[in-house]
Structure 1
Amino acid sequence: MNDRSDPPRHNELGQPVGVPVENWTPRPRPPQSAMEGRFSRVEPLEAARHGDDLFAAFAEDDDGRTWTYMASGPFADREAFDRWLSICQQSEDPFFQAILDLASGQALGVASYMRMVPDMGVIEVGNISLAPRLQKTAAATEAMYLMMRRAFDELGYRRYEWKCDSLNAASRKAAERLGFTFEGIFRQAVVYKGRNRDTAWYAITDQEWPTIRQALESWLDAGNFDGEGHQKQPLSAFMPKPS
């Protein structure tokens, strides 16, 4: 890994150039295997296996608020939902994952690895849709941690991205809580559901990951939860303070 504080390098013409990335090789794509922690399990989405749980869980979102900033949904009926799940399952990029709550054993959300650029070591997490029961839970946070850990520690990616509608305050807050750095707004980047989207970009780099991983693991540790499963300290207490 290269420290971003390294002094600038220069080529033989005296022009500033980036620091070398030694022994770099393209990164593998995420495998089909599951990831499991104390609260959650993340596994490749299967419509037949996860459909009943997901449809029932998302149905608890009475006004469809979960889907406001998503390209798909809300769904008129189970048939429409199953068509969407089938498309998601067959997609290679995005590569959709089901998020299971281990306490109930139920699938309560989805997320995906997407816009994968193995040659450059860049990968994005997106299509994050969490049913009301999964939102703001340790299982949801752990699922995001598991996906980060696979990208950085198992697969060796250099950059992990999070993008969302700039008006999606909840998504932006979640990115910042998880340690992503805000990098700017891409104006008029997307048209979806017949409306404009200015896209907010966030990312974590491999240099930043060890500190963020330690913060997430400290927050997820059993000692940070009381007998009723309530956190003793918020994740922000473990995250590095802005310089």
Structure 2
Amino acid sequence: MTDRRIVVVAAGLSNPSSTRMLADRMAAAAVAQLRERDITATVEIFELRDYAHQIVDNMLTGFAPQELEAMIAKVVAADALIVVTPVFSTSYSGLFKSWIDVLDPDSLSGKPVWIGANAGTARHSLAIDYAVRPLFAYLHADAISSGVFAASSDWGANADEVAPLSKRVEKGARELAEAIAAREPVTDLDPFDPASYLGEGKSFGHLLGGLAGE
């Protein structure tokens, strides 16, 4: 069996959050679909709210703090990426966009990406296609066609009976698994990870600090 690495990035602000719930559900479905293809997968989940201050620091200084740098390195080195953002004011969250802004524009080129979004009402269900998907088109990522939108009602008794959340998740998971299976595993050292050429546990911040005598 072939091992693949999936990184999940959830941009929810609360704890617990429906954004994380949707991210967990999508990740579990992707792993199940890969297992049916005799492919094992490891999943690592990052919640952006844990990196909010570091993302701002990165935007202000141009350098990622060590924890954010390590997280981004894992995103870049993953075989596939699952991203889930809450929808605020008809679009992705500011935290999610700020994270996108600190990524190298070429870092996700060709990477399979499965997009999820959630909001209080189904009126925002088109946000994936008109707001989120263009971000990954700009980054030259390979966003699969079936995104997953979940409204508050999808978690309750009044869920959509015509296209239930479980069916939408299963469909997207199948497409992601097919995209992963069609590619060779990512095995090379990540050129965006300073640990590969500065040494384990090092970062550009540490290097600059050393040069400054800190």
Q: TM-score, normalised by structure 1?
A: 0.28
Instruction: Determine which structure has the larger strand proportion and give its number.
Output: 1
Instruction: Determine which structure has the larger helix proportion and give its number.
Output: 2
Name the larger-Rg structure. 1
